[in-house]
Each structure stands twice: as structure tokens, then as C-alpha cells.
Amino acid sequence: AASGCGALVEEVPVAQSARALAESRGEDPARFAAAAGEDFELLAAIAPRAFSYLSGRFRKRFGRPLLRVGLFRREAAVAMKTAKGEEPLPAGWDHLKN
């Protein structure tokens, strides 16, 4: 990233239909959801100390939970936390290259 920041993805919420598709293809559902590029969510950086407050406000306003998926860090790499440790996260589909 241009900022030099990286990220550690710790949890990826996966819809049941996406989970079933990934498993039918022999793929890990979390890695599939993170790299498939067909499901879009809003991502925001929130200070840990503000998460509880903002999460409550978000749920009250929109009726949906605000989910913590990971954290930003100084290391430039983007990785996913797995049972094996941290693994590099594959890049998603690049519409300008492919």
C-alpha cells in the first residue's frame, strides 16, 4: 500500500451460501471470501478504544452488527491469521490487469 501500512485479517464473516460454494470447490471459506472479490462490505479503521461505543451506535442506527475483522500494523504485508499462523493473503481480482 502507498501508506506503507499492512494488515492482519483475523476473522472474515462468511455468508452460508459463500461458505457452501467454497467448500464445494475444496477451498477454505475465509480465504475464498477474502480473495474472491464478489462480495463487498464497508471497511473502516476504528481505534480499539472507540469500537464498543461505535458498535453500539451502529447497531442502533442500522440494525446490524459492526464486526471487527482485524487490525492495521506497521509491517507492509497483508496476512490472514489461520490455524497454521499467519499466511500471506492473496490479492483479489484486478479488473485493470485481468
Contacts of 30 (CB under 8 A, 6+ apart): 11, 12, 14, 80, 82
Distance CA 81, CA 8 (A): 7
**Residue-wise pLDDT tens digits, 8-22:** 989 888 889 989 999
Secondary structure of the chain in HEC code, one letter for each residue: CCCCCEEEECCCCCCHHHHHHHHHCCCCHHHHHHHCCCCCCCCCCCCHHHHHHHHHHHHHHHCCCCCCCEEEECCCCEEEEECCEEEECCCCCCCCCC
**Quick check: 91 pLDDT over 70?**
no
**Residue-wise pLDDT tens digits, 49-85:** 999 999 999 999 999 999 999 999 998 888 988 888 8
**Residue-wise pLDDT tens digits, 22-53:** 999 998 888 787 776 666 677 889 999 999 99
pTM: 0.70
